[in-house]
Amino acid sequence: MMLPYRCMYLSSPLLIFLLTLILSALNCASADELPLKIDKRMEAQESFNPTDRAVAPPKTLRQEIDEAKKTSKERKISPLVIDVKKAIAPYDEPDGESGVMPNLLKETGLQLSIAEVRSRALKNNLSLKVFQYDPVIAQTVVREEEAKFDKIIFAYAKYGDKDSPAFSGDNVEFKSNNPALDAQRLKIDIQEQEKQNLMLEAGIKVPLRTGGTVTLSSPFNRKVTDGQFSSKEYQSALQFSFSQPLLRDAGVRVNEASIQIAAYEQQATQLKTRLQSIRVVAMVDKAYWDLYQAWGELDVRRQQFELANQNLGMVKRRVDEGLTAAIELNRAEIGVADRMEALIIAETNLKLAQRQLQFLINDINNDTSQAFIPVTPPNLLKFEFDRSKLLSDAQQGRIELLEQEVKLAADLTKIDYLENQTLPLFTLDYQYGALSNTLNSMGDTYRGVLNGQFSDWSVGLKFEMPLTNEARKARLENAVQQRLQRLTTRELQELTVKREIFDALDKVDQNWQRIIAARQQVLIAGLNYDAELKQFSEGLRTMTEVLETLTRLGEAQVKEIRAITDYQVALIDTAYATGTLLGYSKLNFQ
């Protein structure tokens, strides 16, 4: 509160102008704001509902097959059902001489929906946990940059004691208004004496967002001399100094550039973390359907093994009855052995698919007896998507594109800063001090400061510029080229997004047609197998031909399972291409 009181005694217009500049600078803030669409994107839901994006009501698989078979005889179409309980049940030994088959898994299993798997992944996935530290680290960088405008309180103290002996001094000549002293020559000898000096100074330094610095301080000096002419003196002052760059490092925008860039980096880091969350969930969804496919193929391979085993039993009875040649028994046993191998491979594939899902949700342990059983049914609806609408949504919602926009904004801020750095250093310095008289009482010294009798002030200008300035120009050119490179990268990413959207939509259509074709192939292969088996009973076919039709039936069933799985994956890829997730459930990424 001492400074305003002192200012009443000052008549310098320059000081009044500077004080006004300081007050306005202290209240000044940057007008730049982060893009609002970044904040909106962070608050947006990640759900992708195919029904909402379709241009027409979706069609069921039965409707599609009926339309494809209008001209043919109507057959009863049964949806594909994966019998998990049957697949994990222990199967009997087909023949005492063939050895005991290993048990796949215990009958008990953990039933998981895709929503539960997603929740576990978001909670336990280790790669996601690694990324979750990045936003916290980025926030500390922003705090560090904002702290460069912290006010600094400083204090300084120094005590000295000098006990000096007498010594011969210099020869001097007086200049005085007194004629008796004027032009007199004498020699000054320093007498033996002891000096004690205590210097104190405390104050505050305020960095301004305009690039300047304001310093307020109060120095105090106590000097005690012991000797023939002892004395005790006190001096104090109130000092004010102001330094403001006028070209380089001048202005709020320049001095807040590092804060702005750190804030952009924080936004980019948050977007990366969100992108990693979406990527992990998409990977978990695909792993879930891979597990679904593994269960389906295991079910098919078990059915194939059981049918081959039944055929072997039938052939044994017919050989015993003399109705079939003994060679057919060997063919039937080969068929059982082939399907036993396929069953073992299917069992291993199931274990691998389950372990992959366990890895993604961080649930791998030594207990492999408990199976993960998918209970979410596949989405068997045909969607006709609006391609232009999906492409527009992808260009607005893809996190990779938004991240590039944040980085481009940071590049522009950096270029503005580096442009300023190419200017000369031109600084205005102002200092003022209200001084006290030399008194012998510490209590009176500060009253002497406020009476306005003694003062000390100065104004100065400082200019500095490199001769070529190539270093700063090179840094500016580097930043410009990086921005141009990032602009090209963004164009490449936009082109990549278009390709991913169209590829995903084409795969959706392709895999839907694969489902329809595989379903009809299963029906026809089933009829052919029944017919071949009847002709074998009549002696018109060999067991090799029966087993070939059985193999085609199994392969057709596997094709249908894979087509269904690929269709689910294609829907996931379509949602991911738009920057969202297939809308099984709402997710919280916080």
In DSSP notation, 502-560 reads HHHHHHHHHHHHHHHHHHHHHHHHHHHHHHHHHHHHTTSS-HHHHHHHHHHHHHHHHHH
How many other C-beta atoms are found inside a 10 Å radius of the C-beta of residue 459? 14
- Residue 446's domain comprises 152-207+212-248+429-464
- Give φ, ψ of 226 to 5 degrees: -110, 130
**Tens of pLDDT, residues 198-250:** 999 999 999 999 999 999 998 988 888 887 777 888 888 889 999 999 999 99
Is 354 within a domain?
yes
266 and 396 part of one domain: yes
Residues 134 and 272 in one domain: yes
Same domain, yes or no: 336 and 438: no
In a domain, 312, yes or no: yes
| CA neighbor of 45 nearest in space, from 270, 376, 274, 288 | 274
Total domains, the chain:
2
From first to last of the 590 residues of the chain, give the pLDDT tens digit: 333 333 333 334 444 444 444 444 443 433 344 456 556 655 555 666 666 666 566 767 666 666 655 544 433 434 445 444 444 343 333 333 322 223 334 345 788 888 888 888 888 888 888 888 988 999 999 999 999 999 999 999 999 888 888 888 888 888 888 888 888 888 887 778 888 889 999 999 999 999 999 999 989 888 888 877 778 888 888 899 999 999 999 999 999 999 999 999 998 888 888 888 888 889 999 999 999 999 999 989 888 888 888 878 877 877 777 777 778 778 878 888 888 888 899 999 999 999 999 898 888 765 555 788 898 888 888 888 888 888 888 888 788 888 888 899 899 999 999 999 999 999 999 999 888 777 666 666 667 677 767 888 899 999 999 989 899 999 999 999 999 999 999 899 889 989 989 999 999 999 999 998 888 888 888 888 888 888 877 777 777 787 888 888 888 999 999 999 999 999 999 888 888 887 654 455 45
Same domain, 496 and 373: yes
Residues 495 and 392 in one domain: yes
Domain contains 548: yes
On whether residue 420 sits in a domain, the answer given is no
Nearest by Cα to 115 from 328, 371, 377, 318: 377
Give CA torsion, residues 509, 512, 513, 515, to 10 deg.
Answer: 160
The two tokens of residue 70 are 């209008």
What is the distance between the alpha carbons of residues 137 and 141, in angstroms, rounded to a whole number?
A: 7
Same domain, 89 and 193: no
Are residues 399 and 433 located together in one domain of the fold? no
Do 399 and 438 belong together in one domain? no
The Cα 286–Cα 207 span in angstroms is 55
Residue 296 in tokens: 């389906």
Burial 281-297 (b: 16+ CB within 10 A, else e): bbbbbbbbbbbbbbbbb
If asked whether residues 139 and 159 sit together in one domain, one would say no
> CA torsion sign, 433 to 436 to 441 to 444?
negative
CATH code for the domain in which residue 105 is found? 1.20.1600.10
pLDDT for 10 equals 38
C-alpha to C-alpha distance for 98 and 103, rounded to whole angstroms: 15
10 assigned to some structural domain = no
Are 390 and 334 found together in one domain? yes
pTM of the full structure: 0.72
Same domain, 570 and 457: no
User: Is residue 22 a part of any domain in this protein?
Assistant: no
The reply to whether 196 falls in a domain is yes
Indicate if the alpha-carbon torsion angle 415, 420, 423, 425 is positive or negative.
negative
Claim to verify: residue 164 and residue 187 sit in the same structural domain: yes
Query: Is residue 446 in some structural domain?
Result: yes
Place of tokens 């002996």: 165
- pLDDT at 290 (0 to 100): 94
d(CA 355, CA 362) in angstroms, rounded, equals 10
* pLDDT score for 4: 37
Hey, what are 401's tokens? 């594109």
Q: What's the CA dihedral at 494, 497, 501, 507 to 10 degrees?
A: 140
